[in-house]
């Protein structure tokens, strides 16, 4: 195994290149290829390949629903969903590529910095679906066309309404540090989940590491995936989640489970989940078809309606009953910084929380 | 010490009567042998006496006390009996000495007394140099003596032996047969000895009970069993025997090879088909006609073998019946010769069915 | 010169090339490569740094850094406590089943087998459903019964005691089987001899039965210790939420991004060495004492009458069996059919949606089941074949160095699953054998891990077949291999079937090596379940877990009842 693929040196080189390119990003020297449309030849070629392998960190049921929507539109092309945490996806793709195994076609990660990393290694294929070219704002797509924001969502605090009364519910991160929440909190791990890594970066930047030091004393139930705290809340295992994906909370609330989102007064971490296509994809045509589908208003609406996610596509309509994105105070995202500090953040976290 | 009495003892396994209505009295101080082929129920009877098995019917008494009955059975540890098992059952994790004193330790006898008794029995069984060895290091004969010592040291009322010599080789077996009898005479326990080997039974027993298919076929002294077998089974099982089936002419004679043959034993009725047993070395064989006519049968020598200390003949009477005859190792009568057989009446035993 | 024999000569036996020797040597070579290669790479990685120079720095870090030393200590305590609990529970149960008239003894044996077959990680997840402090079904029951509210609970599975408990649940069958077998085989007249000399049941048990069963108990304790020490699934599921690592989860975490394989290798070696030491110690303790029974013709042991106590004994036994079998299986069934895993199934919240999801929507299911079954069958068949040949070589001492071969065949017992996974990863992700990404690397791992037990089972079966049976065949002209195939193997039929089933079952429940070596195309069911646990999809786990159990039971039942495979004919 070529461990130098993962050396810190490699990451630093990648990130400094990114810093350089971000300075230059305002230049309209776009290296992106022209927009690609879905042609009948593409569909036929995709059907011949028969399947597309999608590594994703979106919650399993939501991933499978998106897959089903695609399969319904394009019968004959199956989607093989490989779901695991974003940080694990990075490790698995790295492990596979360094042994010359090319199993993945399309990847979606809640850690946007990974897409940058893979792009730097030259593994991503520049491919710009029509919708991305026409509708997506520049901050939601790669200037070189290798990835775009498939989903947008938040990492939120939430609580179980049968265990906690509305008046007593926490309203901010600071509230979580109050003594009466000790032993009642569940949270996920930045070593596994890209969502949590990104959120930890934003929160530690805006509130300082002191917040996490105090949170570590609160006897939290430590889980891996950011998709787990909402489930633990619904089960009634803990009363409050310190972090976790908003989309599952919204889905559960809308299906009658006793959970309620909280948008912290200090701001809520914003998570971008881009989709990228691999050069060495084993099913390149099916991959392109899938990637194109992902950014259509149809698919984005599926994301919103069924997935509880939010979208960067201006034509996608927010579901009534949810707080619109514009009304929520957000923390700023910064993929480059996550790429640069990711390891340090994880190490610091492990030291504080002991796992 | 009291005698052991079995009264109509029965044991069923499923529908099978493994011990079928067995009655026997073991006079105290005597050595009784339960003799029979495998499957005859002798070991089960022994285990019933030991208390490892409970009877389906009948009872077992020691003296006046009932120790086994279908309703109640005294557990083995309270019967004050000792047993030597066919496999010796020596405990592999204890030394020879520890094996032997196990029973004494349970009786809470003080240490000095135990040591004395141990030394005595080790001397008697010639095991003194082996006292601190483990059973796995001993030979078959040595293990057997350890089992003996362990059983005798507790001075039981009753001693039970389950085929104790069957795992030894022939020479050792012969030596140990006498040893068992010698020890019995020295200590005078009431002993029940189970074996399938008739020579062991004949050597050691005061009383032999021949068992077959769960029943006692005949019980008696060794001479009794040997010389006066009452059934075909006993006749064949003990010693070798010629058994012929013929019609009885009257209450004391049967028809044999065209002649009347006088017999003793079970009463006969004219016309009844009855089995007669006559042992090979009781038959006289000669080339000349014997002086007395009675029970003299002409025959031809079919086969003759010289066995060192005796000669073994197969002769054929004129009705085709073949008999085996054993004589001293004198001059052999050659194959094909005509001979006269003499069958002494007291040796021709009429057998019960 | 004497005249030649007048009779016509018998047709000369064709002396062709006897393939026996080369084939045997080939098997031996394969075995060597299988086992020595990963260990060699492991050692290389442990003792070198990134530049490739020899160093002890990796070990130094292990000893000095609390992040590495603490898990070592935790693992040791975990294994010791588990072993003690297993012995305390399994020994009396073994005695009750083998020696007393407690009712339903056969059922108890079957249930213990069921707990043996259940993968420990599945049991851990099931116990999450039962004993999570707030949502656990048992804690809910407690709150209902005691009227307490809020976070009151009596059981917290996310804790060190919780982990010890779950591991003990699925390790005690090892001790039980060893003790029960030893008691089954103990000749009854050893105890009879004690009885007749005046010792009652209890004195006999104390002085005779227990000391003689002690070697089996010791061996069982050792196996339990080793199993507890090398488990990956249960600690990964329960320890992380509780906030601590064990050695296996630590090694696993060293392969997360960025991977530190040298440290992982260095952390693996202490586990390996500890295992080897314990195995040697066991052999030394049992060596002298001569616990083999002397004398011939072993008799059936006598049943101890428990009298009224037998119902109490049965109740206690069933209470014990609730922990590995009844409660977890109930929890899994409940989660399968309930809309929400923390709610008991009622008419209102009964649903088939979970089953529907797993089999019709979850795209990884079909591939995972297919991979698992294929690997199970392949590993069982190849493993049994290798074990038969190697067992034959050592039992008949067919080639020089057969003793070394026997040692190699049992060596993997000293290699924890995750350590082997690491070693195999190092060996087969580099030329010339790049097997990573294929099912082959998983196959190698599974066969290697199952080899020791398979080999031992077959070796004792071989010993029971007299060599003269083969010799008779060879003197008539059969080669050694042919004699093996035509004479010995059919006689070993039941053992061969048993071994096949054993390997199959162990493949299905294997996680610690699989987690290191799988890729998305070669995922197996155990890994899928592990992934689903990380994303908290408990209902899907329950469905898959029950499917795993069904597949296992079906295959074992079928293999044992096909007449072609030597089903026992009615006596």
- Which of A331 and C493 is assigned the larger pLDDT? A331
- Based on DSSP, count helices (H) and strands (E) in chain A, helices before strands: 14, 12
Instruction: Note whether residue C130 is domain-resident.
Output: yes
Instruction: Note whether residue C277 is domain-resident.
Output: yes
Stretch (H or E) spanning B281: none
Stretch (H or E) spanning B8: strand B4-13
Same domain, C68 and C134: yes
Which of left, alpha, beta for A145 (phi over 0: left; psi -120 to 50: alpha)?
A: left
Instruction: Note whether residue A335 is domain-resident.
Output: no
Beta bridge partners of B24: B6
Segment among A202-211, B14-23, C250-259 with least mean pLDDT: C250-259
Same domain, C65 and C111: yes
- Dist. CA C250–CA A343, nearest whole Å: 17
Question: What distances in angstroms separate CA C421 from CA C417, C427, C556, one per listed residue?
Answer: 6, 10, 27
Same domain, A28 and A124: yes
Instruction: Note whether residue C42 is domain-resident.
Output: yes
Residues 6+ apart with CB under 8 A from B226: B202, B238, B239
Q: Which of residues 174-203 of B touch C (CB under 8 A)?
A: none
How much is the pLDDT for A157?
A: 94
Whether a cis peptide bond, with omega within 30° of 0, leads into C60 is: no
Query: Do residues A222 and A228 touch, judged by C-beta distance below 8 A?
Result: no
Nearest alpha-carbon partner for C540 in C558, C521, C560, C525:
C525
Same domain, A266 and A277: no
- Dist. CA C164–CA C145, nearest whole Å: 27
Stretch (H or E) spanning A153: strand A147-154
What percent of chain A has pLDDT above 90? Answer: 52
Same domain, A293 and A190: no
CA triplet B47, B52, B58: central angle to 5 degrees? 70
Is the pLDDT at C11 greater than 60, yes or no? no
pLDDT in tens, C92-145: 899 899 888 899 998 998 889 888 888 899 999 999 999 988 888 898 888 888
Query: Do residues C128 and A223 touch, judged by C-beta distance below 8 A?
Result: no
Is the pLDDT at A243 greater than 90, yes or no? yes
- Dist. CA B220–CA A323, nearest whole Å: 109
Same domain, C118 and C263: yes
Task: Please tell me which of the candidates A184, A222, A234 has its beta carbon nearest to residue C151.
Answer: A184
Question: What distances in angstroms separate CA A295 from CA A281, B119, C193, one per listed residue?
Answer: 19, 100, 85
CA triplet A55, A59, A62: central angle to 5 degrees? 95
A interface mutation test: which of C139, C342, C535 has the most A CBs within 10 A? C535
pLDDT in tens, B96-126: 999 999 989 888 889 999 999 999 889 888 8
DSSP-derived letter for residue A200 is H
C159-174 CB burial, b ≥16 within 10 A, e <16: bbebbbbbbbbbbbbb
Query: Do residues A186 and A221 touch, judged by C-beta distance below 8 A?
Result: yes
Alpha carbon dihedral C443, C444, C447, C452, in 10-degree steps, equals -160
Which residue carries 């493949």 as its tokens?
A: C507
**CATH hierarchy code of domain B240-351:** 2.40.50.140
- Which of A69 and C178 is assigned the larger pLDDT? A69
Tokens of C155: 């059981």
Nearest alpha-carbon partner for C301 in C440, C219, C403, C195:
C195
Same domain, C270 and C410: no
DSSP-derived letter for residue A217 is G
Instruction: Note whether residue C396 is domain-resident.
Output: yes
A115: CATH: 3.40.190.10
Q: How many CA atoms lie less than 13 Å away from A335 in the CB half-sphere?
A: 23
Query: Do residues B242 and B324 touch, judged by C-beta distance below 8 A?
Result: yes
Same domain, C395 and C505: yes
pLDDT in tens, B208-229: 999 999 999 999 999 999 988 8
Nearest alpha-carbon partner for C174 in C238, C247, C283, C93:
C93
Instruction: Note whether residue C283 is domain-resident.
Output: yes
- Based on DSSP, count helices (H) and strands (E) in chain B, helices before strands: 8, 21
Same domain, C134 and C228: yes
Segment among A9-13, A197-201, B287-291, C39-43 with least mean pLDDT: A9-13
Same domain, A135 and A27: yes
Beta bridge partners of A54: A81, A106
Tokens of B214: 């769960």
How much is the pLDDT for C299?
A: 65
Instruction: Note whether residue A114 is domain-resident.
Output: yes
DSSP string over B326-341:
EEESSSPPPTT-EEEE
Same domain, C199 and C67: yes
What domain count does chain A have? 2
β pairing state of A78-83 and B190-195? unpaired
Radius of gyration over alpha carbons of chain A, in Å?
A: 20
Q: C-alpha C410: how far from its chain's center?
A: 13
Nearest alpha-carbon partner for A77 in A106, A120, A44:
A44
- Dist. CA B224–CA B240, nearest whole Å: 15
Which residue carries 């089987």 as its tokens?
A: C177
Query: Do residues A148 and A132 touch, judged by C-beta distance below 8 A?
Result: yes
Measured between CA atoms, the residue of chain A closest to residue C357 is: A61
Tell me which chain A residues have a C-beta less than 8 angstroms from the C-beta of C255: 91
- Dist. CA A203–CA A197, nearest whole Å: 10
Domains of chain B by residue range: 4-232, 240-351
β pairing state of B31-35 and B207-212? parallel
DSSP string over B149-183:
HHHHTT--SEEEEESTTTTS-HHHHHHHHHHHHHH
C437 touches chain A (CB under 8 A): yes
Same domain, A23 and A138: yes
Instruction: Note whether residue C448 is domain-resident.
Output: yes
How much is the pLDDT for B133?
A: 92
Same domain, A49 and A71: yes
Tell me which chain C residues have a C-beta less than 8 angstroms from the C-beta of B146: none
Give residue C205's pLDDT band: very low, low, confident or very high (50, 70, 90). Answer: confident
pTM of the model: 0.79
Same domain, A108 and A251: no
Instruction: Note whether residue C150 is domain-resident.
Output: yes
Whether a cis peptide bond, with omega within 30° of 0, leads into C287 is: no
CA triplet C413, C418, C421: central angle to 5 degrees? 95
C235: CATH: 1.10.3720.10
Which residue carries 């085929």 as its tokens?
A: B163
- Dist. CA B217–CA A13, nearest whole Å: 104
Query: Do residues C520 and C437 touch, judged by C-beta distance below 8 A?
Result: no
Same domain, C48 and C76: no
Q: Which domain holds residue C430?
A: 18-55+370-523
Residues 6+ apart with CB under 8 A from C474: C480, C483
Same domain, C140 and C69: yes
Instruction: Note whether residue A189 is domain-resident.
Output: yes
Same domain, C172 and C207: yes
Task: Please tell me which of the candidates B92, B143, B154 has its beta carbon nearest to residue C197.
Answer: B154
Same domain, A164 and A143: no
Question: What distances in angstroms separate CA B68 from CA A197, B57, C198, C449, C483, one per listed residue?
Answer: 81, 10, 17, 56, 55
C206-235 CB burial, b ≥16 within 10 A, e <16: ebbbebbbbbbbbbbbbbbbbbbbbbbbbb
Give residue B353's pLDDT band: very low, low, confident or very high (50, 70, 90). Answer: low
Task: Please tell me which of the candidates C291, C294, C296 has its beta carbon nearest to residue B90.
Answer: C294
Task: Please tell me which of the candidates B76, B88, B143 has its beta carbon nearest to residue C195.
Answer: B76
**What are the backbone angles phi and psi of residue A133, rounded to the nearest 5°?**
-65, -40
Tokens of B217: 């076929």
Same domain, C162 and C276: yes
Query: Do residues C50 and A3 touch, judged by C-beta distance below 8 A?
Result: yes
- Dist. CA B39–CA B60, nearest whole Å: 21
Same domain, A241 and A184: yes
- Dist. CA C368–CA C152, nearest whole Å: 39
How much is the pLDDT for C567?
A: 43
Strand order in the sheet with A106-108: A78-83, A51-56, A106-108, A270-277, A147-154
| Cross-chain residue pair C134–A98, CB shorter than 8 Å | no
Tell me which chain C residues have a C-beta less than 8 angstroms from the C-beta of B85: 189, 192-193
CA triplet B221, B222, B228: central angle to 5 degrees? 85
Is the pLDDT at A8 greater than 60, yes or no? no
Instruction: Note whether residue A224 is domain-resident.
Output: yes
What domain count does chain C have? 2
| Cross-chain residue pair C261–A1, CB shorter than 8 Å | yes
Tell me which chain A residues have a C-beta less than 8 angstroms from the C-beta of C371: none
DSSP-derived letter for residue B248 is B
- Dist. CA C23–CA B15, nearest whole Å: 55
Tokens of C141: 């029951």
Question: What distances in angstroms separate CA B234 from CA B209, B223, B350, C437, one per listed residue?
Answer: 10, 13, 12, 79
pLDDT in tens, C270-282: 888 887 787 777 6
| Cross-chain residue pair B83–C193, CB shorter than 8 Å | yes
Average pLDDT, chain A: 86
B–A touching, 3+ CB–CB pairs within 8 Å? no
A-C CB pairs within 8 A amount to: 137
pLDDT in tens, C423-451: 888 888 777 777 788 899 999 999 988 88
- Dist. CA A124–CA A103, nearest whole Å: 14
How much is the pLDDT for C150?
A: 65
Which residue carries 């024999």 as its tokens?
A: C5
DSSP-derived letter for residue A4 is G
Residues 6+ apart with CB under 8 A from B101: B114, B117, B118, B153
Whole-complex ipTM: 0.79
Query: Do residues A281 and A102 touch, judged by C-beta distance below 8 A?
Result: yes
Tell me which of 3.30.56.10, 3.30.700.30, 2.60.120.10, 3.40.50.300 is the CATH number of domain B4-232: 3.40.50.300
Same domain, A34 and A125: yes
C–A touching, 3+ CB–CB pairs within 8 Å? yes
Q: Which domain holds residue A112?
A: 3-150+272-317
How much is the pLDDT for C79?
A: 94
Average pLDDT, chain C: 82
B109 touches chain C (CB under 8 A): no
Helix (H, G, I), strand (E, B) or coil at C102: coil
Query: Do residues C50 and C258 touch, judged by C-beta distance below 8 A?
Result: no
Instruction: Note whether residue C555 is domain-resident.
Output: no
């Amino acid at each position: 195994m070529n461990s130098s693929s993962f050396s810190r040196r490699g990451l630093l080189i990648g990130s400094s290149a990114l810093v350089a390119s971000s300075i230059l990003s305002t230049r309209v020297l776009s290296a992106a290829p022209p927009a690609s449309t879905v042609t009948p030849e593409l569909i036929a070629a995709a059907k011949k390949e028969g399947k597309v392998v999608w590594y994703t960190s979106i919650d399993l049921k939501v991933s499978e629903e998106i897959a089903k929507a695609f399969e319904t539109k394009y019968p004959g092309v199956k989607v093989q969903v490989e779901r695991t945490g974003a940080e694990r996806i990075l490790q698995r793709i790295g492990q596979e590529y360094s042994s010359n195994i090319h199993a993945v076609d399309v990847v979606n990660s809640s850690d946007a910095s990974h897409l940058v990393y893979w792009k730097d290694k030259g593994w991503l294929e520049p491919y710009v679906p029509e919708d991305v070219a026409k509708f997506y704002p520049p901050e939601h797509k790669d200037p070189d066309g290798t990835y775009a924001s498939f989903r947008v969502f938040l990492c939120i605090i939430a609580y179980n309404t049968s265990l906690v009364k509305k008046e007593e519910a926490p309203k901010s991160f600071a509230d979580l540090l109050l003594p009466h929440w000790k032993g009642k909190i569940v949270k996920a791990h930045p070593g596994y989940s890209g969502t949590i890594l990104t959120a930890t970066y934003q929160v530690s930047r805006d509130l300082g590491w002191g917040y996490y030091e105090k949170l570590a004393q609160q006897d939290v139930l430590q889980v891996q995936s950011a998709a787990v705290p909402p489930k633990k809340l619904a089960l009634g295992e803990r009363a409050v989640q310190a972090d976790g994906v908003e989309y599952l909370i919204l889905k559960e609330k809308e299906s009658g489970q006793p959970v309620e989102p909280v948008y912290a007064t200090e701001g809520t971490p914003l998570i971008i989940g881009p989709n990228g296509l691999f050069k060495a994809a084993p099913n390149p045509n099916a991959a392109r078809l899938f990637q194109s589908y992902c950014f259509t208003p149809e698919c984005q609406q599926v994301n919103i309606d069924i997935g509880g996610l939010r979208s960067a596509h201006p034509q996608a309509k927010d579901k009534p009953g949810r707080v619109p994105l514009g009304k929520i105070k957000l923390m700023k995202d910064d993929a480059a910084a996550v790429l640069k500090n990711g390891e340090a953040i994880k190490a610091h976290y492990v030291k504080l929380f002991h796992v | 010490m009291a005698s052991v009495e079995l009264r109509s003892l029965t044991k069923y396994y499923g529908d099978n009567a493994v011990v079928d209505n067995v009655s026997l009295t073991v006079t105290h101080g005597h050595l009784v042998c339960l003799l029979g082929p495998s499957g005859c129920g002798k070991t089960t009877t022994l285990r019933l006496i030991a208390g490892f098995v409970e009877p389906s019917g009948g009872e077992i008494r020691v003296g006046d006390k009932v120790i086994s009955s279908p309703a109640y059975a005294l557990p083995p540890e309270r019967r004050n009996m000792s047993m030597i098992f066919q496999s010796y059952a020596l405990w592999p994790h204890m030394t020879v000495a520890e094996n032997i004193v196990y029973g004494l330790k349970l009786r809470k006898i003080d240490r000095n007394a135990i040591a004395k008794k141990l030394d005595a029995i080790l001397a008697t069984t010639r095991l003194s140099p082996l006292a601190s060895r483990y059973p796995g290091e001993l030979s078959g004969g040595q293990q057997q003596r350890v089992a003996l010592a362990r059983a005798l040291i507790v001075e039981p009322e009753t001693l039970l032996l389950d085929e104790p010599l069957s795992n030894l080789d022939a020479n050792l077996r012969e030596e140990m047969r006498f040893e068992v009898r010698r020890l019995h005479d020295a200590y005078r326990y009431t002993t029940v000895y189970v074996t399938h080997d008739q020579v062991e039974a004949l050597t050691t027993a005061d009383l032999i009970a021949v068992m077959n298919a769960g029943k006692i076929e005949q019980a008696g002294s060794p001479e009794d069993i040997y010389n006066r077998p009452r059934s075909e089974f006993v006749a064949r099982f003990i010693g070798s025997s010629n058994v012929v089936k013929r019609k009885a002419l009257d209450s004391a004679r049967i028809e044999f090879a065209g002649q009347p043959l006088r017999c003793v034993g079970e009463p006969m009725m004219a016309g009844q088909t009855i089995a007669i047993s006559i042992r090979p070395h009781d038959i006289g064989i000669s080339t000349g006609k014997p002086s007395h006519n009675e029970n003299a049968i002409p025959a031809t020598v079919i086969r003759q073998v010289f066995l060192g200390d005796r000669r073994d003949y197969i002769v054929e009477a004129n009705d085709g019946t073949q008999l085996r005859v054993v004589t001293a190792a004198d001059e052999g009568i050659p194959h094909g010769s005509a001979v006269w057989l003499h069958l002494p009446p007291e040796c021709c035993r009429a057998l019960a069915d | 010169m004497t005249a030649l024999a007048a009779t016509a000569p018998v047709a000369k036996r064709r002396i062709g090339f006897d393939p026996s020797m080369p084939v045997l040597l080939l098997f031996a070579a394969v075995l060597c490569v299988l086992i020595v290669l990963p260990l060699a790479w492991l050692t290389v990685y442990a003792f070198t740094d990134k530049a490739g120079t020899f160093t002890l720095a990796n070990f130094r870090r292990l000893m000095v850094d609390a992040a590495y030393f603490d898990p070592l200590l935790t693992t040791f305590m975990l294994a010791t406590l588990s072993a003690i609990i297993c012995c305390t529970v399994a020994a009396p149960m073994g005695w009750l089943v083998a020696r007393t008239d407690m009712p339903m003894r056969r059922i108890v044996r079957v249930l213990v087998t069921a707990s043996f077959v259940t993968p420990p990680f599945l049991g851990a997840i099931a116990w999450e459903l039962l004993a999570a402090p707030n949502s656990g079904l048992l804690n809910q029951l407690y709150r209902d019964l005691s009227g307490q509210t809020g976070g009151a609970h009596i059981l917290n599975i996310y804790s060190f005691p919780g982990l010890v408990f779950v591991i003990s649940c699925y390790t005690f069958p090892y001790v039980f089987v060893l003790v029960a077998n030893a008691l089954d085989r103990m000749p009854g007249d050893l105890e009879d001899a004690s009885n007749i000399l005046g010792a009652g049941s209890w004195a006999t048990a104390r002085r005779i039965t227990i000391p003689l069963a002690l070697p089996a108990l010791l061996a069982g304790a050792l196996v339990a210790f080793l199993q507890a020490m090398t488990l990956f699934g249960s600690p990964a599921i329960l320890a992380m939420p509780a906030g601590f690592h064990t050695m296996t989860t630590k090694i696993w975490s060293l392969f997360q991004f960025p991977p530190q394989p040298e440290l992982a290798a260095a952390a693996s070696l202490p586990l390996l060495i500890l295992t080897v030491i314990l195995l040697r110690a066991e052999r030394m303790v049992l060596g002298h004492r001569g616990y083999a029974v002397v004398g011939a013709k072993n008799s059936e042991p006598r049943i101890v009458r428990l009298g009224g106590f037998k119902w109490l004994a049965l109740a206690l036994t069933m209470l014990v069996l609730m922990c590995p079998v009844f409660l977890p299986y109930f929890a899994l069934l409940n989660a399968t059919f309930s809309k929400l895993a923390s709610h008991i199934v009622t008419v209102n919240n009964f649903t088939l949606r979970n089953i529907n999801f797993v089999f019709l929507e979850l795209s990884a299911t079909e591939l995972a089941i297919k991979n698992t079954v294929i690997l199970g069958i392949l590993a069982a068949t190849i493993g049994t074949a290798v074990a038969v040949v190697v067992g034959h070589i050592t039992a008949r001492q067919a080639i020089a160095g057969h003793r070394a071969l026997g040692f190699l065949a049992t060596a993997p017992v000293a290699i924890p699953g995750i350590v082997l996974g690491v070693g195999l990863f190092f060996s087969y992700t580099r030329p010339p054998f790049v097997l990573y990404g294929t099912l082959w690397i998983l196959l190698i791992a599974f066969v290697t891990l199952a080899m020791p037990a398979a080999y031992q089972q077959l070796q004792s079966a071989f010993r029971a077949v007299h060599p003269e049976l083969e010799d008779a065949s060879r003197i008539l002209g059969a080669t050694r291999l042919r004699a093996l195939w035509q004479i010995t193997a059919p006689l070993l039929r039941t053992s061969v079937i048993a071994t096949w089933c054993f390997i199959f079952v162990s493949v299905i429940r294997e996680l610690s090596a699989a987690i290191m070596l799988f890729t998305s195309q070669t995922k197996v069911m155990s890994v899928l379940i592990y992934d689903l646990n990380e994303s908290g999809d408990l209902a899907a786990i329950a469905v898959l877990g029950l499917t795993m159990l069904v597949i296992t039971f079906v295959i074992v039942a079928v293999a044992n009842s096909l007449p072609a495979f030597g089903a026992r004919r009615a006596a």
